[in-house]
Amino acid sequence: MLALLRPIAWINSSVLAIGRHVAWAALALMVVVTLVQVFFRYVLNNALPWPDEAARFAMLWMTGLAAPSALRAGGFVAIDMVSRALPRPVAAALNLLLLAIALMVLVYGIALGHNHVKSGWLFNSSSLKLPLDWVGGGVVRIKLAWMFMSILVGLYLMTAVTVELILREIARLIGLEDGLPEIETTAIPEAE
């Protein structure tokens, strides 16, 4: 069991660390773009057409890349007073059931996400463009699929995390808790 869990935990730790860094960059970009829009709109009285959609684009990628780390670290809102009141084996079985339900929802979400991304290739963003005309090319309009893909990537990462959490819960249930690899939670604030 632990031989299966360790590589999954290592891969999740590595991929999620990269995702957290990109999420921080997306957050910074979102703030900068929003401040640019505020300056242009309220100081120069000339709102730009692209910052609102660019900020939404960054926010979606930030969410898709940060949510899996929050799930892995137990950072989502949860009502755990029932499982804390139960004996450890019963609580572990309840957690396994809840993780299995979550896994089914994520797999269904991935199926829906693929369809959504496919439809996104048909439509251009209303205001986001790559200004390649500045370097002798033509203007390239951004496809909405790039925005929709953020949630699909997040669903895939959350599925990988859920599989790891299921394996961890099974290991706890069969008494292998001492050999579990640590969960890397860098850059995730501790809940009080």
Could you read off the pLDDT of 123-141 as tens digits, one per residue?
Answer: 888 888 887 777 887 888 8
Q: Phi and psi (nearest 5°) for 68?
A: -60, -35
Helical axes 51-72 vs 145-173, angle rounded to 10°: 10
Q: In the predicted model, what is the mean pLDDT of residues 142-164?
A: 94
pLDDT over 90 (residue 76): no
CA proximity to 118, closest of 136, 100, 139, 144: 144
Residue 2's pLDDT is 76
Residue 184's pLDDT is 67
Residue 186's pLDDT is 57
For residues 77 and 183, what is the distance between their CA atoms, to the nearest angstrom? 18
Helices and strands in the chain, H and E counts = 5, 2
pLDDT tens across 28-68, in order? Answer: 999 999 999 999 999 999 989 889 999 999 999 999 999 99
Q: In the predicted model, what is the mean pLDDT of residues 4-29?
A: 92
Residue 68's pLDDT is 95
